[in-house]
Amino acid sequence: MSSGKDKDNKDKEPAAAEAKNDHEDSDEEASGTSNFSLEFLGRYLATKLKIHGDDKPKEKILEEFTIDGIVSHINKNNCNNIIVMAGAGISTTAGIPDFRSPVSGLYHNLQKYNLPHPQAIFELSFFHENPRPFFELAKELYPGSFKPTICHYFVKLLNDKGMLLRHYTQNIDTLERVAGVPDEKLVEAHGTFNKGHCLACRKSYTQDWMKDKIFADDIPPICDDCPGVVKPDIVFFGENLPEKFHKSITTDFSKCDLLIIMGSSLTVQPFASLIDRAPDGCPRLLINREKAGHQSGLSLFGYGGGLEFDRESNVRDVCWLGDCDEGCLALAEKLGWGDELKELRKQEHERIDKDEGKTMKKDPKL
Ligand code: CNA
């Protein structure tokens, strides 16, 4: 990840943007302003300003706006530059809660940490004041206690078949790595528990070092060389995104021949805006429990942007609503890899249980 030494503020936007999004949500609720009226206002302004980014006639790219349409696109075009964008929803069936799902989401279960507000647990300013809640939560969610899901193995299979250009994940649980997605194909946009650094002298620490400290309740872990606190390299609100993220997005998206987005509310910037980097001719498939990305950014102002599956002008976007594992399995089955995917998951879970002897919290069955 880009180090905390780099004080370029450009990347502080993500945290600010998310905080702003959340703030805007509550304002919206309070004032009763609906997405409809915002969209209406946006389209009205777009008409007045003569901005018609969404109106230009476009060539239809998919035969149908379904998983079948996506499969036909893959087969006809021999897609081998597929980009996957993933969020917390691909890991919920492994037993790791996401942020925003009602009842089960982390934000709804943080009362015990007595925080000023839920996001504070991932805010650097609060962490400096009181790092304990973050480390208590880290203990609950620590990598090594969970097994990858069908989604993670689907991405691994895409790579094995030479079809994956890059997997961009917002997740910090390292399950892509556990599933065998190679480092060069992986962009961990919000960092990872894989490594850590002393916040004072920047000395680097391994995951095992941090894990030993955290599980021995030696919290917060203190640097061996100075009195600084050691923090896993996960990106907090107010921190820069990893350099690999910025380098990869500049070259990857122009090549993308299919974008698959799964398990994300697409509310955290700049990650969410990556959907707009896919070229015009590139289909985009959302696999999620709820619609996402369709009312984001400039789309609210009738100026293109965002996923288009709800718009009459849609030529390329598919929304598949349901469980990510089921969506990936449906896609794999239609590609003729259903059994291979199930077998890969079974064998890998057996291997993890046997070789690593880890005590897993859940073994979800499809
Ligand atoms: P989010 O905002 O919590 O959204 C998750 C989305 O996934 C929601 O739209 C859910 O409806 C959907 N969802 C949840 N479970 C499933 C499922 N089984 N099948 C289909 N859809 C499902 O999370 P995002 O990833 O969009 O937000 C980005 C945050 C979350 C990043 O900064 C992450 O670091 C952070 N996060 C990561 C983890 C993890 O590493 N596993 C866990 C919790 C939060």
> What would the pLDDT profile of 310-322 be if each residue is shown by its tens digit?
999 999 999 999 9
Q: 264: pLDDT confidence band, cut at 50, 70 and 90? A: very high
Mean pLDDT across 146-167: 98
Higher pLDDT, 353 or 327: 327
Least confident stretch, 108-112, 152-156, 182-186 = 108-112
Mean pLDDT across 204-213: 94
Q: Is the pLDDT of residue 225 over 80?
A: yes
Binding residues: 88-92, 98-100, 170-173, 198, 201, 223, 226, 288-290, 324
Q: Is the CB of 286 under 6 A from ligand 1?
A: no
d(CA 214, CA 46): 53
Backbone dihedral region for residue 196 (phi beyond 0: left; psi -120 to 50: alpha; all else: beta): beta
d(CA 210, CA 251): 34
Asked whether the beta carbons of 174 and 210 are under 8 A apart, the reply is: no
Q: Is the pLDDT of residue 185 over 70?
A: yes
Q: Is 23 a catalytic residue?
A: no
The strand ranges marked E within the chain are 82-86, 164-169, 186-188, 191-198, 204-206, 230-234, 258-262, 284-288, 317-321
Q: What is the DSSP string of 132-147?
A: HHHHHHHHHH-TTS--
What pLDDT score was predicted for residue 75?
A: 97
Q: Is the pLDDT of residue 215 over 50?
A: yes
For the ranges 109-118, 156-165, 357-366, the one whose mean pLDDT is highest:
156-165
Helices (H), 49-141: 67-77, 124-129, 132-141
Mean pLDDT, the chain, rounded, equals: 83
φ/ψ (deg, to 5) at 268: -95, 125
Q: Which atom of ligand 1 is found nearest the CA of 263?
A: 7
Express as a percent the part of the chain with pLDDT over 90. 60
Q: Which of 92, 98, 171 to mutate to test the pocket of ligand 1 (most atoms within 8 A of CB)?
A: 98
Q: Is the CB of 85 under 6 A from ligand 1?
A: no
Least confident stretch, 188-192, 199-203, 294-298 = 294-298
Q: Which of 11, 13, 99 to mutate to test the pocket of ligand 1 (most atoms within 8 A of CB)?
A: 99
Q: Is the pLDDT of residue 282 over 70?
A: yes
What pLDDT score was predicted for residue 295?
A: 79
What pLDDT score was predicted for residue 10?
A: 33
Selected from 3.30.460.20, 3.30.1700.10, 3.40.50.1220, 3.40.50.300, the CATH number assigned to the domain covering 65-95+149-190+245-362 reads 3.40.50.1220
> Which residue's CA is minimally distant from atom 31 of ligand 1?
170
Asked whether the beta carbons of 187 and 168 are under 8 A apart, the reply is: yes
Higher pLDDT, 226 or 145: 226
Whole-model pTM: value is: 0.82
Q: Is the pLDDT of residue 147 over 60?
A: yes
d(CA 288, CA 279): 22
> What would the pLDDT profile of 84-95 be if each residue is shown by its tens digit?
999 999 999 999
Q: Is the pLDDT of residue 111 over 60?
A: yes
What pLDDT score was predicted for residue 210?
A: 94
